[in-house]
Amino acid sequence: MTDLFDKHRHIAERHQRMLQLGVNAVGVTNQRLLSPTRAIIDGRETILAGTNNYMGITFDPDCIAAGKAALDQFGTGTTGSRIANGSYSLHKDLEAELARFLNRKHCIVFTTGYQANLGMMSGLAGPRDTIYLDADSHSSIYDGCTLSGAKLVRFRHNDAADLDKRLARGEEDGGGRLVVLEGIYSMLGDRAPLADFIEVKKKHGFQLLVDEAHSFGVLGPNGRGLADEAGLEDEVDFVVGTFSKSVGAIGGFGAGNHPLFEYLRYAMRPYMFTASSSPASIATSIAAIRKLAAEPQRRDRLRENSARLFHGFKALGLDMGCDTVSPVIAVKCPDEPSTIAMWNALLKAGVYVNIALPPGTPNKLCLLRCSVSAAHTDSDIDRIITLFDSVVAQGHGKKVVNG
């Protein structure tokens, strides 16, 4: 008999190697949360700089009050899907709130961000269609594409000319064509060059989806994401986003203006066959989105903090994931063992960042990835820079700094 676990033995071996170098870098336990930017890890107070808590909204008193009220009024869970059990008025309220925020006619809420991509990809594209996806797309996009049964063509990251070429190769195929981009790419923090892709859209004609997971609430004058920042929202057919980052809850959404958009509810298995979001999570999301709309200063603060960390790292000579300021700031490291060692040293010194290793990263990069929060103080940011100076610039990462 072949043990089904045989294929996973290499994972166990890699994990053991990581443990020998320190604590479990991919399984940290936050014993207690003190604030959006502080937790007790291993008994020590630690600055959180790897939680995608961009707006620092997770402990907002109004959001917490809304969540508690929803628990009292609607209970702990919905115990089923919206198709089978019906919706709660809260779900409808959240969809209306989001549609307003996004300035889109239709919005569908999902239980997680992951499912939003699974649902939207598989609802929009079918076996006769083709999805063109950026090479650096998030796994939820890849998985959604696979679920759709569509033909999948991968184009070079952020390369509109490469997409143009690949669209031309498939010109005779027939079927619909969906192109998928991300507002901010989660590993390197770079944005899609949206205007270039829209030129290609005008040339070839396709429907365009932008996943604003890391840019929703963050970019643009209205906080609607990259397309808002670029002034190109009319050219984007579908938007996907998540509540687990700037909204500080859990869940996801898809939105668009297509007259048949609402019928996706009956065509997306990841929407139909899972329990709907819990009342507390929905209620905190509604409260948070209202805050994102009413308090643009949060976005300004996040931009200032991001710039402070970005320029601080630049001054240390660190090799960064991209050249533009974004709340995702990744530092390239020489190899896996040194990255693990530096990650451990940073944690011991009191800052939690993400460790990102292949195949979870593009181009086999080993990264120490920071995500900035509007709730970080200047002294938090300066402390992170100081620790990266001693641990990375003067430590194991020296190879990168000095070439």
Per-residue x/- marks for another protein, 47-86, CB under 8 A?
A: ----------------------------------------
Range in contact with another protein (rule: CB under 8 A) among 41-49, 179-187, 213-221, 356-364: 356-364
Q: How far is the CB of 135 from another protein (least distance, A)?
A: 7
Among 221, 231, 296, 358, binds another protein (CB under 8 A): 358
Q: How far is the CB of 149 from another protein (least distance, A)?
A: 8
Asked if 153 touches another protein (CB under 8 A), the answer is yes
Q: Which is nearer to another protein, 350 or 360 (CB)?
A: 360
Range in contact with another protein (rule: CB under 8 A) among 309-317, 345-353, 355-363, 393-401: 355-363
Q: How far is the CB of 290 from another protein (least distance, A)?
A: 39
Site for another protein in 157-176 (CB under 8 A): 166, 169-170
Asked if 355 touches another protein (CB under 8 A), the answer is no
Among 220, 362, 367, 368, binds another protein (CB under 8 A): 362
Site for another protein in 120-139 (CB under 8 A): 130, 135
Q: How far is the CB of 242 from another protein (least distance, A)?
A: 22
Among 40, 83, 151, 235, binds another protein (CB under 8 A): 151
Q: How many CB atoms lie within 10 A of CB 62?
A: 13
Among 156, 290, 303, 314, binds another protein (CB under 8 A): 156
Residues forming a β-bridge with 154: 133
Site for another protein in 286-315 (CB under 8 A): none
Among 69, 71, 154, 258, binds another protein (CB under 8 A): 154
Asked if 178 touches another protein (CB under 8 A), the answer is no
Between strands 207-211 and 328-333, the pairing is: unpaired
Range in contact with another protein (rule: CB under 8 A) among 59-67, 85-93, 206-214, 354-362: 354-362
Contact residues for another protein (CB under 8 A)?
Answer: 130, 135, 145, 151-154, 156, 166, 169-170, 358-359, 362, 364
